[in-house]
Amino acid sequence: MRHLPLTLATVAALAASAGPARADTVTDWNEAASTAIVGVAKQPPPVAILSFAMVQGAVYDAVEAIDGRYRPYLAGGHARRSDSEDAAAATAAYRMLAGLFPDQQAALQARYDTSLAAIPAGPRKDRGITDGAVAAAAMLAARADDGRFGPFTPVYGTAPGQYRPTPQNPLAKDPAPWVANVRPFLVGSVDQLQSAGPNPLSSRAYAREFNEIKRVGALHSTTRTPDQTDAAIFWQENAWSLYNRAFRTLAAENHLSPADSARMLAMTSLAGADAAIGCWHEKYRWNFWRPITAIREADTDGNPATTADPDWLPLFDPSTPVAPGAPPLVTPAFPENPSGHACATAAVITVLQQFFGHDRVPFSLHSNESGTTRSFTRLSDVLKEVINARVWAGIHFRTADHEGAKLGETVARYEHRHYFQRVNR
């Protein structure tokens, strides 16, 4: 979907696109959140997931206060089982998005008015609106002064192994290094998410992964297959735009109730948020160089099994074709280890396995970066492909993907033990 600038035309277009509230207002407003967070605000993935976590956490609390089967994320409100879940979900999402993005108020108000108009008037609707407002207010209060958008000055190194701006993009900077200092949503401390870091430069493991990515991740690799190239480009779309489309598909195809949709979206978003926070904290703790720098400067790494190529380029280069309108491919402008996409994907996949109770959950997904659709039989197939795709892209050593996956899985397991448990009656 192409998103218009915030003009009167935008307001009209969003109001028209909302249409009558669908049977599942929860997923309807997840789509609205994707438009606001990624489409209009254009938040990069580690920032976008913090916004999704706040929105979906509030929606869950609003709906679950009515449904009553599971523990709330924050302190529960006092709701009746007869309150309107649709009104609660729409109000929580609207209040959160308007609080996070006041410049989008007019467009969000238009969509909210359309949602409410489809709900029959009466006490059930009125109480649902109150439930949603209470949940949103609690979330906004809980996340005040949590470190978002705070000061953070990355330190670039010059020694072998230390991160520095890449030759492709020497002036680019991390748009959100401060994510490393945000207060987690689930775990008690970010220190619970420490990783083992990259392989020592002098090790055989480093040389093995160096030579793998030098070969298969190169712009003009002769060993990477067309399908591997497609997969690498496919997964470069903003992860949280991509994954939330997948969540809505899974909700529809598995006939989830609004309450179950709200729980799935909250579980994946909150785990994804802590995975991002932990990942960025570790990125700047290790401050490891990207493959393009490592390969071009291999004569400085002290490893006899690596050879420098001063002209090496990864697949992720602006010259690589992408879908019309998609942003060009480049090496991301922040440290390499652990992999942000692997952190996110492992958190999401582990949560979905826990939510559905098994791994065999088939689905298909379209990427606006590659313009292609890929299909998966098992949830675990997604994580396996993402880990490989970042190597095929030429932007991550394999260890960074595995360390990211471990971090994401740690968050998901912690969430499973401490949050979203069924209420005993």
Q: What is the pLDDT of residues 357-390, one digit of tens each?
A: 999 999 999 999 999 999 999 999 999 999 999 9
Closest CA to 273 of 148, 137, 402: 148
What is the per-residue pLDDT for 30? 98
pLDDT single digits (tens) 285-299 = 999 999 999 999 999
pLDDT at 14 exceeding the cut of 50 = no
What is the per-residue pLDDT for 77? 72
Helix (H, G, I), strand (E, B) or coil at 170: coil
Degrees to nearest 5, angle at CA 2 with 327 and 320:
20
Rounded mean pLDDT of the chain?
Answer: 94
pLDDT at 425 exceeding the cut of 70 = no
Q: How confident is the model at residue 75 (pLDDT cuts 50, 70, 90)?
A: confident
Q: How far is CA 391 from CA 285, 315, 398, in A?
A: 22, 10, 6
Across the range 247-268, mean pLDDT stands at 97
Tell if the pTM clears 0.85, that is, is over it. yes
pLDDT single digits (tens) 62-71 = 999 999 999 9
What is the per-residue pLDDT for 76? 72
**Lowest mean pLDDT across 75-84, 89-98, 140-149, 347-356:** 75-84
pLDDT at 2 exceeding the cut of 90 = no
What is the per-residue pLDDT for 424? 80
Measured N-to-C along each axis, helices 25-34 and 105-117 cross at an angle, to the nearest 10 degrees, of 170
pLDDT single digits (tens) 394-418 = 999 999 999 999 999 999 999 999 9
Q: How confident is the model at residue 23 (pLDDT cuts 50, 70, 90)?
A: low
**Domains in the chain, ordered, with CATH?**
8-142 (no CATH), 177-418 (1.10.606.20)
Joined together, the tokens standing for residue 264 give 């799935």
